Amino acid sequence: MTTESFLAAFCQAVLSRDFGRAEGMLAPWLRSELPGGGLREVVRLSRGEAPPASEYSTAELSYGDPRSMRETVADNADMNGARSLDECDGLGAVMGPPSYPIPDELTDENFESAYRLEFQPDEDLEADEDFSYAFYVAVVQLGEKQAIGYLEPMD
């Protein structure tokens, strides 16, 4: 499976509110960090008052590898404060992602790439917002399968 098709399957699971399937696509260390209510709660908090999403787009980010992700978290810690997925408030970091601690399990060996996943409302809605919510994710290769090894809401 290509990374693009993996991300498409993840986004479709989120859009169809099949959170069990979407959570199954998260790396084990990430699943253990989800707040009470799991990925459903992260989406609810991230969406806030925005209209429901009916479409998605993915964009590979030209920056991002485990080392630079860890440096970004350390460099912006004073501005971003203490943040973590298990205490997710749905808001993006002041200095942008990544701002959550990068798990030790996310390594150069298993890291594939970082992406912005943007979930947009139906085009027919006359919404003031370009998107309902967005996530910064890192895709990793775990043996024969891919997984989301890092997930954070972003603006």
pLDDT of residue 63: 77
Q: Quick one: average pLDDT of 18-44?
A: 97
The candidate with the shortest Cα–Cα distance to 50, out of 116, 130, 117, is 130
Q: How many CA atoms lie within 13 A of 141 on its CB side?
A: 11
pLDDT of residue 117: 98
**How do residues 45-78 score in pLDDT, each as one tens digit?**
999 999 899 999 999 998 779 999 999 999 999 9
Bridging pattern class, strands 133-142 and 145-154: antiparallel
**How do residues 77-122 score in pLDDT, each as one tens digit?**
999 999 999 999 999 999 999 999 999 999 999 999 999 999 999 7
pLDDT of residue 124: 62
Which residue would you say has higher pLDDT here, 150 or 125? 150
pTM: 0.93
pLDDT of residue 11: 98
The candidate with the shortest Cα–Cα distance to 99, out of 117, 80, 116, is 80
pLDDT of residue 1: 84
Q: Does residue 126 surpass a pLDDT of 80?
A: no
pLDDT of residue 20: 97
> Could you identify the residue written with the tokens 């978290």?
73
Q: Does residue 39 surpass a pLDDT of 90?
A: yes
Q: Does residue 125 surpass a pLDDT of 60?
A: no
Domain ranges of the chain: 3-154
